Amino acid sequence: MSENRRLFVCTNQKSGVGEDVAKALKKELKHQGLKKQVIDGHKVRTQVQTCDCLDLCKGCKKGPGAALIVYPEGTVYGNVRPADAAELVAEHLGRGKVLKRLRWDE
């Protein structure tokens, strides 16, 4: 059985930071070899997708970074900057742990 996991990154900021975050996440997924994984016997493929407003604007439009949501599990991160991509990918996607410093609690 295979599953798809997606990181939806808001690109609704005027600064364009969301586009840069999405690019950095894609680069790190490839660099860290985590685009395709086997987790608990299931093949898991992870993709990064840009999207419009996620209605999490307090963690996005007015902040220095972008909001993103990990689908389908639903973890939300806020104020994510391109420089956070390596740590977020390694911690959340590599080790399966929520990166607490960027977690956005609505």
Binding site residues, ligand FES, CB under 6 A: 10, 12, 53-57, 60-61, 67
Q: Which pairing describes strands 36-39 and 75-80: parallel, antiparallel, or unpaired? A: unpaired
Q: 32 vs 50, which CB is nearer to ligand FES?
A: 50
For the bound state, the minimum distance from the C-beta of residue 55 to ligand FES, rounded and expressed in Å, comes to 6
Inter-CA distances, 56 with 25, 68, 72, 94, Å: 19, 9, 17, 25
For the bound state, the minimum distance from the C-beta of residue 67 to ligand FES, rounded and expressed in Å, comes to 4
Which candidate, 73, 65, 78, places its Cα nearest to that of 104? Answer: 78
Non-local CB neighbours of 92 within 8 Å, separated by 6+ positions: 70, 75, 98, 99
Q: 12 vs 37, which CB is nearer to ligand FES?
A: 12
For the bound state, the minimum distance from the C-beta of residue 92 to ligand FES, rounded and expressed in Å, comes to 19
Q: 12 vs 32, which CB is nearer to ligand FES?
A: 12
Q: 27 vs 61, which CB is nearer to ligand FES?
A: 61
CA 37/CA 39 separation, integer angstroms:
6
For the bound state, the minimum distance from the C-beta of residue 13 to ligand FES, rounded and expressed in Å, comes to 6
